[in-house]
């Protein structure tokens, strides 16, 4: 079997998998890992290990989108390095860089998935998974930015359970998900001006994303009905 035939077989094999589904499933698995490994000494190392897997899946997803691949690679390599370093070296400087780079990578991946969903007038199974994966990517990205803000300005966020303390990442992620989905449970909330600005930017992003998804699905449904009526 020559090289071209082998490449074709590999491409056919991979075509049966949905990259966005793997990405979404991994992110959901990380959420469960927070509950399973809660309060364990090596919890952060385990979470960072899952984060490396997410970075690899992000590169795979971007490669299937109209986005520029080299940007994803340029962000993913330092993201992996700093994620591993932050798992073993408990320093605020490394954690800041890890959070900044991961946040930028997650936002770029979210933009890549949006471009992927909008590049044609059909909704495939993978694009449906991409809707959920994009939402979680945006939530994770802002949680990373919240973490950077908290490191630079301690006390920027507070919660009912930890008043006056710096919050763990899971609480910042919880804030991001409730804020992005407009649930607003309000037991974790921003205190400083910078924190409130970041939260407002995420609110605008969430409203815009949901409006984009709804308008696209409605528009495609109208087009489908119009074709059937001809």
How far does Cα 220 stand from its chain's mean position?
Answer: 26
Neighbours of 108 (CB within 10 A): 21
Tokens of 73: 């690679």
Global pTM value:
0.84
| Dist CA 220 CA 17 (whole Å) | 24
DSSP-assigned letter for residue 166: P
Q: Which residue has the higher pLDDT, 45 or 1?
A: 45
Query: Confidence class of residue 10 from pLDDT cuts 50, 70 and 90?
Result: very low
Query: Confidence class of residue 162 from pLDDT cuts 50, 70 and 90?
Result: confident
Strand, coil or helix: 189: strand
In 3-state terms, the chain is what percent helix, strand and coil (to 5)? 75, 5, 20
Lowest mean pLDDT among 91-95, 130-134, 158-162, 225-229: 225-229
Residue for token pair 């303390």: 165
How far does Cα 202 stand from its chain's mean position?
Answer: 13
Residue 208 confidence (pLDDT) above 70: yes
Per-residue model confidence as pLDDT tens digits over 116-139: 888 767 777 777 888 888 999 999
């Amino acid at each position: 079997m020559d090289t071209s035939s082998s490449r074709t077989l590999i491409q056919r094999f991979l075509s049966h998998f949905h990259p966005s589904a793997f990405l979404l499933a991994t992110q959901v698995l990380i959420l469960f890992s927070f509950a399973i490994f809660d309060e364990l000494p090596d919890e952060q190392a385990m979470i960072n290990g899952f984060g490396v897997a997410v970075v690899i899946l992000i590169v795979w997803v971007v490669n299937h989108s109209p986005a520029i691949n080299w940007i994803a690679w340029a962000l993913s390599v330092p993201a992996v390095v700093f994620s591993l370093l932050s798992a073993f070296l408990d320093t605020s400087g490394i954690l800041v860089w890890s959070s900044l780079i991961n946040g930028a990578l997650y936002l770029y991946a979210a933009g890549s998935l949006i471009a992927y969903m909008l590049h044609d007038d059909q909704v495939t199974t993978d694009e449906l998974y991409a809707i959920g994966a994009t939402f979680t990517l945006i939530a994770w990205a802002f949680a990373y930015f919240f973490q950077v803000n908290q490191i630079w300005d301690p006390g920027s966020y507070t919660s009912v359970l930890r008043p006056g303390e710096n919050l763990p990442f899971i609480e910042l992620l919880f804030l991001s998900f409730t804020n992005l989905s407009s649930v607003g449970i309000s037991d974790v909330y921003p205190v400083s001006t910078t924190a409130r600005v970041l939260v407002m930017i995420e609110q605008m992003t969430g409203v815009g994303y949901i409006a984009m998804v709804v308008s696209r699905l409605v528009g495609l449904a109208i087009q489908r009905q119009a074709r059937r009526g001809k």
